[in-house]
Amino acid sequence: MTITGSQGPGSDAMTNPDIRQQVQAAIQQAPMLSVSAGKLMQITSLADHDIKDVIDVVHNDANLTARVLKVVNSAAFGLMTPVVTLDRAITLLGERVVVGIAIGDSAGHLFQKSLTGYESEKGDLWRHDLRAAIASREVARRGRADVSADLAFTAGLLHDLGKAFLSDFMENTANAIIERIENRDSADYLKAEEELLGIDHAEAGYMLAEYWNLPQPLQMVIRHHHYPSEAPEEFRPLVYCVHLGDIVSMMGGCGTGADTLQYNLDPDYIRYLELAPNQLAEVMLEVDEEFDKISGSIAESKENNR
Amino acid sequence: MSQIILGVGDLGASKAPGAAVKTFALGSCVSVILLDPRVRAVGMVHVALPESKINLQKAAAKPGYFADTGIPKLLEEMAKLGCNPRGQGMIVKLCGGANVMDPNDTFNIGKRNALAVKKLLWRYGMGAVSEDLGGNFSRTVSVFVDTGDVVLSSPGRPDWKI
């Protein structure tokens, strides 16, 4: 192994199996998702679920109900009359935003972590993931993928959480990793992580997804989002949606630091998605528009909570 | 020091001593930087897509978002500072236009942005004296009124100038 951080846990003293075990231990210490977030993900991952089931889950969680109503009534949605019923709020927001609120609330500490190992700032991970979520949904919708667009949104939101665990072991490594990729010693940032630590962020995320007992499609997206062809065939349409959604988010300038755009595009997406290259411009535009709306409303409703 | 921060699709210009215009994290977006040595003014537009025809409403609300509406609007803004409205005598610098790693260049939005910007500039008889386009990394860029320096940064890399 030739890359080492100049200090910190990425230095010579540590061997790869140690880091892998430490990442695993850190994941086992992570707080569980809220019961509501878990249930919502289980329900919405089923192709033929009923929106009433979503409403029921929110209805039984007073905090989540309050948050959903605050988001829908925030200035960003610009509604003329206040929404007071949950049914109407969820219909207006769409279930993906509701799932997003539940996930954001119960795993907010991970999304808001500063990924210093990637030379990234606090808030970058949440911004990148939310943009990837919107982009994945748009790719699913416009690309006529045989998957639920709402599930693509949730998968996009969760795809990079492994970085929150890997970052601590990657202090002062960005420079060396970039050099390795430019010299073609590493194929991309994911491979470099694996070469450096014995584990990459996709696998760390997959460990978290297993620990959280996320639905299988979400686990597969998290594990294979950089190499979708390695996913089992039945999950590939969804994994390719997030593969592209992640890329759109990075191209739009919202990455997570030094690894931004340092990944390969898998051109086999055309086997699963009817997406002409020029349609990507439309997706990018849609992401910019919707991101401002959703992130503004969620942030605003959180501030009101304080 | 006053700093004008530009988001995606924003544009800004200044000739205030000590001021700077800055934009964060250009991915496939292209930043067009104009420097007018005579008026001692600088301007920048953060272009996201090549052509406004895909969404005219967006172009009306945020002309800087597209190359074909952003550059004329930037010239208009700079004319308010006393610069030539056709850009005569201005120095042009370009940066951004990155892509993900893809040998087939499938989603070449960065490249198309750069080309659209250059074509538009040619119409004014303008060409870039220096550029830093393409690659697989994001760029943050600042231009300073006092020195005319254009400074770029990217996580994991030392800062550089163009």
**Catalytic residue list contains B83:** no
Burial A151-184 (b: 16+ CB within 10 A, else e): bbbbbbbbbbbbbbbbbbbbbbbbbbbbebbeee
Does residue A74 carry a pLDDT above 60?
A: yes
Q: Are B18 and B2 in contact (CB under 8 A)?
A: yes
- Bridge partners (DSSP) of residue A122 are none
Does residue A5 carry a pLDDT above 50?
A: no
Nearest to A103 by CA among A48, A51, A147, A45: A45
B-chain residues near A120 (CB < 8 A): 155
Does residue A96 carry a pLDDT above 90?
A: no
Instruction: Inspect the interface and report whether the beta carbons of B27 and A253 lie closer than 8 Å.
Output: yes
- Residue of chain A whose alpha carbon sits nearest to that of B26: A253
Instruction: Inspect the interface and report whether the beta carbons of A267 and B102 lie closer than 8 Å.
Output: yes
Catalytic residue among B6, B19, B20, B29: B29
Q: Does A267 touch chain B (CB under 8 A)?
A: yes
In whole angstroms, how far apart are CA B113 and each of A258, A289, B30? 23, 19, 6
Helices in chain A by DSSP H: which ranges?
16-29, 35-44, 51-59, 62-72, 86-93, 95-106, 108-111, 124-142, 149-158, 163-166, 174-182, 189-197, 201-211, 216-224, 236-251, 279-305
Question: In Å, how far is A59's CA from the nearest CA of chain B?
Answer: 38
Does residue A9 carry a pLDDT above 60?
A: no
Interface test mutation site (partner B, options A284, A291, A293, A295, max chain B beta carbons within 10 A): A284
Q: Does B28 touch chain A (CB under 8 A)?
A: yes
Q: Are A241 and A271 in contact (CB under 8 A)?
A: no
A-chain residues near B29 (CB < 8 A): 252-253
Instruction: Inspect the interface and report whether the beta carbons of B29 and A253 lie closer than 8 Å.
Output: yes
Mean pLDDT, chain B, integer: 95
Of A76-90, A138-152, B113-127, give the range with the top mean pLDDT.
B113-127
Mean pLDDT, chain A, integer: 88
HEC profile for A19-73? HHHHHHHHHHHCCCCCHHHHHHHHHHCCCCCCHHHHHHHHHCCHHHHHHHHHHHC
Per-residue pLDDT tens for A162-190?
999 999 999 999 999 999 999 999 999 99
What one-letter code names the amino acid at A177? I
Considering only residues 154 to 193 of chain A, which have any Cβ-Cβ distance to chain B shorter than 8 Å?
174-175, 177-178, 188
What is the fold of A8-305? Hypothetical protein af1432 (1.10.3210)
Per-residue pLDDT tens for B25-69?
899 999 999 999 999 999 999 999 999 999 999 999 999 999 999
Report pLDDT for A298: 66
- Residue of chain A whose alpha carbon sits nearest to that of B108: A277
Instruction: Inspect the interface and report whether the beta carbons of A264 and B98 lie closer than 8 Å.
Output: no
Q: What is the pTM of this model?
A: 0.91
Q: Are B63 and B70 in contact (CB under 8 A)?
A: yes
Nearest to A42 by CA among A57, A30, A31, A59: A57
Instruction: Output DSSP code: residue B134.
Output: -
pLDDT (average), residues A279-297 = 86
Q: Does A18 touch chain B (CB under 8 A)?
A: no
Per-residue pLDDT tens for A48-69?
888 899 999 999 999 899 989 9
Q: Are B8 and B28 in contact (CB under 8 A)?
A: no
- Residue of chain A whose alpha carbon sits nearest to that of B23: A253
Show the domain range for B155: 3-161
Q: Give the total residue count for chain B.
A: 162
Q: Are A139 and A145 in contact (CB under 8 A)?
A: yes
Does residue A4 carry a pLDDT above 80?
A: no
Report pLDDT for A204: 97
Total domains in chain B come to: 1
- Residue of chain A whose alpha carbon sits nearest to that of B101: A264
